[in-house]
A and B are shown apart, each in its own frame.
Chain A
Amino acid sequence: MTRFSGWNVFWNGLTGQTGWQRQWRDPEPKPHYDILIVGAGLHGLATAYYLAKNHGLKNIAVLEKGWLGGGNAGRNTTIVRSNYMMPGNREFYEHSLKLWENLSHDLNYNVMFSQRAHVSLLHSPAARDAAARRYNTMRLTGSDGELWNLETLKANVPLLNYSPDARFPITGAAVQRRAGTARHDAVAWGYARAADQLGVDIIQNCEVIGVTRKNGQIENLETSRGSIGAKKIGFAVAGNSSRLWDMAGLGTLPIESHKLQAFVSEPLKPLLDQVVVFGVGGAHFYISQSNKGGMVFGGDLDWYKSYAQRGNLPIVQDVAECAMSILPCLGRVRLLRHWSGVMDMSMDGSPFICKTPLDNLYLNAGWNYGGFKASPASGWYFADLIANDRPHQFIVNHDLKRFERGYNIDERGAGPDPKLHG
């Protein structure tokens, strides 16, 4: 496999780009693996990679019903941050951010993680205090965080609507400088290529259609490409977790699937250097500019349960209103595309990385709409869980039993209503 480097780009430029090979193989599935991961999205691919890399495991396969990275990996707004406050989440997302910081080098694939700062706008003293608790927690647990006053904010993000006549005048911002954006597809491809190099079989167009159980374990997964057995099995199938869980005869999950839309404008020369988040008056909006120049933005869920990956007008209007309210120069900028992904929303807005009632089955699910930034740590700790058959201390409470215990990891305080988390 040709290493990715400036030198090889140069050399292949001279030699007609003939030196590049497939970035991952297209193997036939074997009848049995030591570990099977279902779902070649970011989480599944990262899990396979860290199983091989951190735990020295071989004989691993990732099964994907469509094409790798074809689900939410390519349907998000690419924001990476670690401004989580609740114990467990805090350490988890911080670890994820640290993995992001070196991910391009680790994978030898430029995932374009751009630490351009994540700027959450503030509009009132109460909002500032609430943000202060979160960002102080980040600071005291080894992360970075700042509060910007209006002057600093204006100097850094000049084009925002600073009018005192705005419906909710901006008074400052809570900022994480190490946060930013990444090239979402590249992360999937980078993990796939790196995992493949370590011997992981990535089997695309292989849909799980049945689960065969024996003695409290899964014996085989029945797939569209035949029956495949494994010693251990991990599910990482955002948007389909409930369906697969049911297929395994395990009943219900504390998950509801909802639709989240994302938007991109036509490409423009640089206009916005940070990720800006706007949340006041019931609004929730985030925007950044991709390296191609498109304004990438998103808002809330569509508010009703949905498995459909199609957009809808009310949220389109809602995000346009938010966009115009904070960046009134966007009036003549045009929306190029909007699309949506299916989010597995959990009952407290936090995920599950845990063991299951079946001895050899592990679950990775319920990422709400925070799954993109989580993917490196998700793979890291899920691999650790599968390899060692026990949760790492940071994820002990990210289990399915936490609601029975009364342990909510609720960053928003929204309660057991999945559509209210994000």
Chain B
Amino acid sequence: MSARRLSTGGRVDRSQTLSFKWEGRDYSGYAGDTLASALMANNQRLVGRSFKYHRPRGIMSAGVEESGAIVSIGEGARHEPNVRATTQQLFDGLVARGQNAWPSVGFDMGAVTGLFSRFFAAGFYYKTFMGIPPFEWGSGTGIWMQYEKLIRKAAGMGDAPSAPDPDSYEHAHDHCDVLVVGSGPAGLNAAVSAARAGLDVILVEQDFELGGDFLNQPDAEAEIKRTNLIALIKAVNVRIMTRTTAFGLYEYGVAGLLEQVTDHMASGSEHLPRQRFWTVRAKSTVLATGALERSIAFGNNDRPGVMTVAAAGVYLNRYGVLAGEKIAIATNNDSVYQTAGDLSRADATVSIFDARKEVSHALGEAAERDGITVQLAMAPMNVLGSKTVSGLSLAIANGDDWKAGGTRSCDLVLVSGGWSPVASLLSHRGGKLSWDSENACFVPNTFSDRIHMAGSAAGVWNLDDCEVSGMVAGAAAVKDFGKSAPSMSAPMVGGWENPIRPLYEIKVAGEKLKSFVDPQHDVTAADVRLAHREGFVSVEHLKRYTTLGMANDQGKMGNIIGLALMAEALGKEIPEVGTTTFRPPYTPVSIGALCGRNSGSHFRPLRRTPMHDWNLDHGATMTDAGLWQRPWYFARDGETITEAYIREATTTRSAVGLCDVTSLGKIAVQGPDATEFLNRVYTNPFAKLPIGKARYGIMLRDDGLVMDDGTTWRLSETEYFMTTTTAHAGKVMVWLEELLQVRWPDLKVHVTSVSDQWAGCAVAGPKSRACLAACVEDPAVMENDVLPFMGVIETTLKGGTPCRIARISFSGEMAFEVYVPSDYAPAMMQILWDEAQPLQGCLYGTEALGTLRIEKGHVTGAELDGRVNIDDAGLGKMASDKKSYVGDTLRKRPEMLREDRPRLVGIFPKDRQQTFNGGALLCKADTVSGFGEGWITGVTHSPELGHWIGIGFVSGGHEAWAGQTLVAADPLRKGNVDVEVVSPHMVDPGGERMHG
């Protein structure tokens, strides 16, 4: 047998030779080839191995429905598994290999599994591999997991890539009036109709050439029509996207498209992404997505050399490749006769075995004229040959059944079991299909939501009718916009001269046939019947039990046969069995394209404070805080992080430290009702906060648990400056907006996020006042009586930079927070730093900040984890009983008031030389098991106390455990440490320092 390139014909450019590698050997094809057509032109028939049985497989189609020619292409980091050779455009230097085979697809050791296929029926793995064979003795998962290793290695198709993908991808957006999917006779006409009415039209075509089925016609007339239509759509400014697949349709006319930008290029392009993922919002959509020819289940119908009739027509008419010399065509419908004629005219010997008992005289005569023998009431029974086709044994109609009918030698078997409109995209939107028994296929129902089916996707078979159908769909889209469009009647579904004879499987009494329904997943007719026998009779059960339709092609060819066989087994009609829902994507989409540019360091936005570079210049090591980067510590001369933070904390407590606190959320609260608003939002009273004072506040969620804390500064009668934690800045802003717009529209308050407008620095330590006094234009404003504890002033730094200063303390020292407009941030830092250095001050990061706050028992997100109420946090005194506030009621539910709830505590190691870990559980010494009495949220070395300390929660609080030893249990890391529980206020509990 042989397939060969013809010297003339087709659309390939014989003047442009492209060389490529297949399974390590060099071959050549022409520009305009796909990998599949080039392989066929080189007579490479065996191109893949099947999933389960490793059966030899060849090219079965000429398009996206391919089940056999699934290959790997590219090398190294550009290795790409599971590529359909039938849609991969050939380029010079393409490297391709077969997959799921060792050492090669031609000789695959894995094929040995095929010898045991009788044991590997559908679902057999649910019935064994559990325990010790043969009776599954034992318990647990150990034995299964040994089997699993072998199964995993055997399964899978292509080799997984292991290196990071070196190519780039993009995500792009677009809008249009009408999206036309498919550029065949229907799609081109639909686009013309819509664009002529003045609509903005995008036409997408998955192929690299426009034209759809026009491209597969042998006659010049079709090419003229195609060329004219393309000229027309260009003239009316249709936006054309080739190599672009509409892979999914979503609500509101949103479509996901995948544009393959450089997949057809030898070496990509440094300026172009490999692929582009488009989100297109279309007001109306025309689906002219064509129809797919399906096979019939008969013996060995998966052999290399068995393909659809249409595919052979495409290879001949589009690529100039004759797929075989001696061709047997099996059909049950009219659609094959034209292709048979084309093949015969290309000097192949062609026989048609038509399952129908009669066809029209004209059809038979035309075939005869073309030198084709037509035999009616015959069907394929079994393919002979293993790695290639050597013949076909036939079945002859015997009443409604079949009986064996002799053997013919041939080198190519072409099959047509009818056509299925491609309605996957409609199905994504929930559109339904109905069974058309006359044409033996599912056709889409009318769908109300501005989606119009056209051409063979609507079940219209003849090319001329498809053109009309496209015009009708285009007109319907025009009417969606309230515009008038010419009224035409839609062509009838179907269009064959002779009715199809529904035929899904050839069964012959006494013949044991291995008949494939879904070749890619090795699902056979026997598997479908076994599923039926075991009660898996619904479509969804059938699909899941046999894996029918779950392969890369999503059952584009096999699903209908599976349904038909199940219907037969159940004694029902196909529509009673149902259809499966097609899920997006229509054809698989690379994860890289869906990701676009948002990977690596661009995975999430990076928020830098305006003094980020200043911090780096001054030795900061940064750490992530949500999306922010903040200084973690400022190591000097080879210090470790521990040495650095201990020095920073010590310096801050003894002299002065500066810390970038810009990441805190900042919200301007303005309006005549601002005071009332804050009084409702915070648990503590704000009604009497004087202008020029700040107050620490706690806000609760509706359910009475703590949402966030921070200070709010009163700047005027009607204006406040609220700060939130870094972590909850966004959440608090949304919350305040919700309260004002949804719940309390009567309050005259406006909130504005000013987080990005203000840069902040904490100045903490006994020398903080001296430091700041040297930085402001008027040192007098820093005096204790002008700026007492919790005082706020608006003033200017030296040089005239306006600033806001509040005397508030997170560290427990005398401390200030200074805010300047963000553009002045580095200048502020420089002024402060210039004055801090003579005072032996330092810069400190979040690690030392942690030390200072743990020493003081101040809470952060580690403590306020969404499960903690205000009493748990030791802040119960801040819950006013003289007013109502958000969360007031629900915080008083019985479980919330229990005395034995875990409360905030400090923790000391019993032996002060020891340390312990955050995340350790606090257990009674005699019961180091179970949930314990509490847990540790933070640990630091306290320079002030000279030993390690922790903060955490213990049931009933520290008073309940006075004098007792608990165990900080940390089985994950270093075992158990004896600890004592103390007040969370471990340093300066009276607060003299910050008030002083």
Q: Which residue of A lies closest to B81 (CB)?
A: A268
A415 within 8 A of B: yes
Is A146 close to B, CB under 8 A? yes
Which residues does chain A contribute within 8 Å of B704, judged by CB atoms? Answer: 406
Can you list, as one digit per residue, whether each of A142-184 has a CB less than 8 Å from chain B (1) or not (0)?
Answer: 1001110000000000010101011110000000000000010
In contact, B144 and A113 (Cβ under 8 angstroms) = yes
Give the interface of A toward B (CB within 8 A).
4-10, 12-14, 16-17, 20-24, 26, 66-67, 69-70, 74, 87, 90, 101-102, 104-105, 108-110, 112-116, 123-126, 128-137, 139-142, 145-147, 159, 161, 163, 165-168, 183, 185-186, 189-190, 204, 265-271, 280-283, 289, 291-293, 310-313, 316-317, 320-325, 328-339, 403-408, 410, 412-416
Distance (Å) between the CB of A409 and the closest chain B CB? 10
B917 touches A132 (CB 8 A): yes
Assembly CA distance A135 to B592 (angstroms): 34
* Listed residue (A282, A335, A339) with the most chain B CB atoms within 10 angstroms of its CB: A335
Residues of B within 8 A of A415 (CB): 701-703, 705, 707, 866
Verify B592–A324 contact, CB threshold 8 A. Answer: yes
A130 with B81: CB separation less than 8 A: no
Interface contact A22-B161, CB-CB below 8 Å: no
Check A405/B894 contact, CB under 8 A, given A6-B133, A317-B595, A332-B590.
Answer: yes
Report if B877 contacts A (CB, 8 A).
no
A165-B601 contact in complex given A126-B862, A139-B971, C-beta closer than 8 Å: yes
A267 and B51: CB pair below 8 A? yes
CB distance from B86 to the nearest CB of A (A): 16
Residues of B within 8 A of A128 (CB): 918-919
Cross-chain pairs A/B with CB under 8 angstroms, 24 sampled: A13-B120, A101-B140, A105-B138, A110-B125, A112-B144, A112-B148, A114-B148, A123-B624, A130-B919, A167-B603, A266-B157, A267-B51, A281-B604, A281-B627, A292-B156, A323-B591, A324-B591, A331-B590, A333-B590, A338-B585, A406-B897, A408-B867, A414-B866, A415-B707
Contacts of A337 in B (CB 8 A): 554, 583-585
Complex: A104 Cα to B143 Cα, angstroms = 11
**Nearest Cβ distance between residue B856 and chain A, in whole angstroms?**
19
- How near does chain A come to B67, taking the closest CB pair, in angstroms? 13
**Could you mark each residue 746-785 of chain B with 1 if its beta carbon is under 8 Å from any beta carbon of chain A, else 0?**
0000000000000000000000000000000000000000
Q: How far is the CB of A239 from chain B (nearest CB, A)?
A: 16
B141-A4 in contact (CB<8A): no
Q: Do A334 and B590 contact each other (CB < 8 Å), given the known contacts A167-B602, A406-B894?
A: yes
Q: Verify B538–A67 contact, CB threshold 8 A.
A: yes
- Name the contact of A293 in the complex, choosing from B130, B152, B596, B606 (C-beta under 8 A): B152
Whether B930 and A141, one on each chain, are in contact in the complex, defined by CB atoms closer than 8 angstroms, is yes
The reply to whether B157 and A268 form a contact with Cβ atoms under 8 Å apart is yes
Query: Once the chains are docked, how many angstroms separate the CA of A173 from the CA of B430?
Result: 41
The one of A109, A147, A167 in contact with B972, judged by C-beta atoms closer than 8 angstroms, is A147
Chain A residues with CB below 8 A from B171, complex form: 317
Chain A binder among B340-348, B362-370, B527-535, B613-621: B527-535
Contact B594 A316 (CB under 8 A): yes
**Chain B residue contacts of A102, Cβ below 8 A:** 139-140
C-alpha spacing A339/B427, complex, angstroms: 12
B798 at the interface (CB under 8 A from A): no
Point out the residue from B164, B251, B626, B969 that lies within 8 Å of A281, measured CB to CB: B626
Q: Chain B residues near A289 (CB, 8 Å)?
A: 152
Cα distance, A335 to B256, chains bound together (Å): 13
8 more CB-based (< 8 A) A-B contacts, given A140-B971, A416-B702? A6-B128, A110-B130, A110-B144, A136-B969, A140-B923, A270-B153, A324-B165, A339-B583
**Given A141-B929, A146-B972, A291 and B599 touching (CB < 8 A)?**
no
Do the beta carbons of B921 and A147 come within 8 Å of each other? no
Instruction: List chain A residues, Cβ under 8 A from B920.
Output: 132-133, 136
Q: In the complex, A115→B596 CA distance in Å? A: 34
Cβ distance A99 to chain B, nearest Cβ, rounded Å: 12
Q: Which of B131, B533, B932, B938 contacts A140 (CB 8 A)?
A: B932
Contact of A268 among B140, B160, B535, B930 (CB under 8 A): B160
Q: Which of A6, A22, A26 contacts B533 (CB 8 A)?
A: A22
Cβ of B599 and Cβ of A324 under 8 Å apart? yes
Residues of B within 8 A of A134 (CB): 919
Is B737 at the interface (CB under 8 A from chain A)?
Answer: no
Contact among B153, B160, B536, B540 with A333 in the assembled complex (CB-CB below 8 Å): B160
Of listed B164, B599, B627, residue having the most chain A CB within 10 A: B599
Contact of B124 among A9, A66, A105 (CB under 8 A): A9
Consensus secondary structure, chain B interface: loop
A17-B526, A291-B151, A317-B171 as given contacts; A140 in contact with B930, CB under 8 Å: yes
* Complex partner residue of B596 from A69, A204, A282, A317, CB under 8 angstroms: A317
Q: Do the beta carbons of B591 and A333 come within 8 Å of each other?
A: yes
Return the contact of B162 from the options A13, A159, A405 (Cβ within 8 A): A159
Which of A292, A317, A332 interacts with B79 by CB under 8 Å? A332
Say whether B703 contacts A167, CB under 8 Å. no
* CB-defined contacts of B701 to chain A, threshold 8 Å: 415-416
Q: State in angstroms the CA–CA spacing of A75 and B971 once bound together.
A: 36
Contact assessment for B540 and A67 in the assembled complex, using a CB-CB cutoff below 8 Å: yes
| Assembly CA distance A123 to B554 (angstroms) | 38
Q: Which residues of B contact A (CB under 8 A)?
A: 51, 74, 78-82, 116, 118-121, 124-131, 133-136, 138-141, 144-145, 148, 151-153, 155-165, 167, 169, 171, 248, 250-251, 254, 256, 277, 279, 428-430, 526, 530, 533-536, 538, 540-541, 544-545, 547, 552, 554, 583-585, 588-592, 594-596, 598-604, 606, 623-624, 626-627, 701-705, 707, 862, 865-867, 890, 893-897, 917-921, 923, 928-932, 935-938, 969-973
B595 touches which of A23, A129, A131, A323 (Cβ 8 Å): A323
Query: In whole angstroms, what is the CA distance A299 to B298 when docked?
Result: 43
Most buried by B among A21, A116, A329: A329
B126 touches A110 (CB 8 A): yes
**What B residues does A140 contact at CB under 8 A?**
921, 923, 928-932, 969, 971
Q: Which residues of B contact A66 (CB under 8 A)?
A: 538
* CB <8 Å contact, A312 and B156: no
Q: Which residue of A lies closest to B972 (CB)?
A: A147
Contacts of A320 on B, CB cut-off 8 Å? 591-592, 594-595
User: A404 vs B917: C-alpha distance in the bound complex, in angstroms?
Assistant: 36
Is B141 in contact with A101, judged by CB distance below 8 angstroms?
Answer: yes
How far apart are A303's CB and chain B's nearest CB, in angstroms?
Answer: 13
Known contacts A20-B530, A132-B918, A136-B921; A291/B594 CB under 8 A? no
Residues of A within 8 A of B248 (CB): 311, 313
- Give the residues in chain A near B151, CB-CB below 8 Å: 291
Q: Which of A24, A266, A407 is the most central at the interface, judged by chain B CB atoms within 10 Å of its CB?
A: A266
Instruction: Determine the chain A residues whose CB is within 8 A of the CB of B894 once the complex forms.
Output: 405-406
Q: A23-B534, A167-B606, A168-B603 are in contact. Are A334 and B119 (CB under 8 A)?
A: no
Q: Which of B121, B594, B896 contacts A17 (CB 8 A)?
A: B121
State in angstroms the CA–CA spacing of A252 and B336 once bound together. 61
Are A185's CB and B544's CB within 8 A? yes
| Neighbour of A313 across the interface among B139, B153, B254, CB < 8 A | B254
B36, chain A: closest CB distance, angstroms: 18
Least CB distance, B41 to chain A, in whole angstroms: 27
Pick the residue among B80, B131, B141, B430 that contacts A115 (CB under 8 A): B141
Distance, CA A334 to CA B604, complexed state (A): 23
Distance, CA A329 to CA B161, complexed state (A): 6
Q: Which 6 A-B pairs have the closest CB atoms?
A: A132-B919, A413-B866, A331-B165, A406-B893, A293-B156, A331-B592
A410 to chain B, nearest CB (A): 6
CB-based contact A268/B540 at 8 Å: no
Could you tell me if A104 and B703 are in contact, using CB atoms closer than 8 angstroms? no
* A345, B35: Cα distance in complex, Å: 49
The reply to whether B588 and A136 form a contact with Cβ atoms under 8 Å apart is no
Q: Are A14 and B893 in contact (CB under 8 A)?
A: no
Provide the bound-state CA to CA distance between A125 and B917, in Å: 11
Known: A108-B136, A110-B128, A167-B606. A410 touches B82 (CB 8 A): no
B164 adjacent to A331 (CB under 8 Å)? yes
